[in-house]
Amino acid sequence: MPKTPRKKSVAESWAEGYRAFTEACREHWGFLNREHGFAEPKVVIQPPSCMVTFTRDGDWVRIASEYAGQPWVVIKVGEGEPFGLDVMIAELEPEYEAKKPVPERDVLTDDEMRAVVAYQAAFVQRHAEEILSRSSRGLRPGRASDAAASSAATPQIISSGRGPSGRGNA
């Protein structure tokens, strides 16, 4: 009698679904470990979310995705506030936003996920001194809030009507 293949657990299915995301994070964000003293990433998959976090003495860089959608990045260095990557781009290099890959749907293909993760990591690597160094001027509260307000005023198309939680716009 042929052996029936073992059915995957829910956790295994989600891990498989997020494989392109976690591999892209390790590949493109690996410079944090190699060049800036961050620990190897910790991957936490709590369906429907996946978070990849690099840590260093109380600092952290977190890349997250929900429902395999657009990943977002939040960085905290020193005693400062955590900032989203969109705020950092708006403050440090607003024209970089034009280079952002635009996926066709809310759920990204593996190639789209890799492209977005590469785009995000390339920006932080390019501005590592300003973003990751405790001794740099970093993001100043006034400039960061101006950048956040400017970023919030930029219209974003969400074709499914789902917000970041996937449960509807807030």
Per-residue pLDDT of the chain (170 residues; tens, 9 = 90+): 677 777 889 889 999 999 999 999 999 999 999 999 999 999 999 999 999 999 999 999 999 999 999 999 999 999 889 999 999 999 999 999 999 999 989 999 999 999 999 999 999 999 999 999 876 545 544 444 444 444 333 332 222 333 333 333 33
Is 59 part of any domain? yes
Is 167 part of any domain? no
Is 4 part of any domain? no
Would you say 120 and 71 are in contact if contact means Cβ atoms under 8 Å apart? yes
Q: Tell me which residue range forms the domain holding 38.
A: 10-148
Q: Among 140, 108, 42, 163, which residue's Cα sits nearest to residue 100?
A: 108
Is 163 part of any domain? no
Is 98 part of any domain? yes
- pTM for the model stands at 0.77
Is 1 part of any domain? no
* Number of independent structural domains in the chain: 1
